[in-house]
């Protein structure tokens, strides 16, 4: 009776991953400094691989807690949701910094002109609009997938999830094609720097979100996720909808409102 669990919380087993992840993240930061100053790429690659491995093994243990240990009761699930919500809020502030830099430069341009003279921007109603429609459609297919899971329609859940992954992959390819046909480079002034930083980091988040959903799809094939317990998939869905919303702000403010003379290809 003395060892009986008297609370609904899950006390995790001792894990090496928080400590190892700290060392890996520090190694990645040091590797980035070496690369930027000494052009040494090996420390950067080693740090990046270490971070990926720590993420892989740490999340593997969390999945085992949910599926094998059955530790993710409703109270634990609520804590995980709060954690994901706080993470997304931190991501919001991450993008606020880029939008702040863009609007500071665009509303108070040094030469009184925005975009700066000589910058040929993208036509907002060409590839950017196409990518907007792709992401909005992916949000619809993901919502369909989530609703199907809650209702117990597993086949529709799998289809909607697969369609969302495909649309995310198409978005990434379209943006890569767009970058390949840009009329300006990363070092061509403040417009180029803020454009590539904001849209580039958003593209990185799309890649991460697509991988997140792909892992959910592979887990779903193994029978994971039920109408009562699917926090992993729910977190991926929240993250993807966050990426959708950020893109809408990017499209309106950078591609549309900030458009100048359009480059003709």
Position 49 scores a pLDDT of 96
CA-CA-CA-CA torsion for 253, 259, 263, 264, nearest 10 degrees?
100
Position 4 scores a pLDDT of 57
Least Cα distance to 64 among 210, 213, 219 occurs for 219
Residues 6 or more apart whose CB falls under 8 angstroms from that of 195 comprise: 102, 184, 254
Could you state, in chain order, the average pLDDT of each consecutive group of 10 residues for the chain (265 residues)? 62 87 96 90 94 93 83 86 95 95 91 86 94 97 96 95 98 96 89 94 96 96 90 95 96 90 60
Indicate the burial class of 51 (C-beta count within 10 angstroms; 0-12, 13-18, 19 or more): middle
Position 29 scores a pLDDT of 96
Position 3 scores a pLDDT of 52
Global pTM reads 0.88
Domains and CATH numbers, the chain: 1-71 (1.10.287.70), 72-257 (1.20.120.80)
Least Cα distance to 163 among 183, 186, 146, 184 occurs for 146
Evaluate whether 212 touches 239 at the Cβ level (below 8 Å): yes
């Amino acid at each position: 009776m003395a060892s009986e669990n008297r609370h609904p919380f899950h006390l995790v087993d001792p894990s090496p991953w928080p400590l190892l992840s700290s060392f890996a993240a520090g190694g990645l930061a040091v590797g980035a400094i070496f690369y930027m100053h000494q052009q040494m790429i090996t420390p950067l690659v080693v740090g990046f691989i270490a971070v990926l491995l720590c993420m892989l093994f740490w999340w593997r243990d969390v999945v085992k807690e949910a599926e094998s240990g059955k530790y993710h009761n409703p109270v634990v699930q609520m804590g995980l949701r709060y954690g994901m919500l706080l993470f997304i809020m931190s991501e919001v502030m991450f993008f606020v910094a880029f939008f702040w830099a863009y609007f500071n430069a665009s509303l108070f341009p040094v030469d009184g002109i925005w975009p700066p003279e000589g910058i040929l921007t993208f036509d907002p109603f060409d590839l950017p609009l196409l990518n907007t429609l792709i992401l909005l459609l992916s949000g619809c297919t993901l919502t369909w997938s989530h609703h199907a899971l809650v209702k117990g329609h597993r086949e529709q859940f799998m289809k909607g999830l697969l369609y969302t992954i495909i649309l995310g992959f198409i978005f990434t390819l379209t943006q890569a094609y767009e970058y390949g046909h840009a009329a300006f480079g990363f070092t061509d002034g403040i417009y180029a720097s803020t454009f590539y930083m904001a849209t580039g980091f958003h593209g990185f988040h799309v890649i991460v979100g697509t991988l997140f959903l792909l892992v959910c799809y592979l887990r779903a094939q193994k029978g994971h996720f039920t109408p009562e317990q699917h926090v992993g998939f729910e977190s991926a869905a929240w993250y993807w909808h966050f990426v959708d919303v950020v893109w809408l702000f990017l499209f309106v403010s950078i591609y549309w409102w900030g458009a100048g003379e359009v480059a003709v290809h």
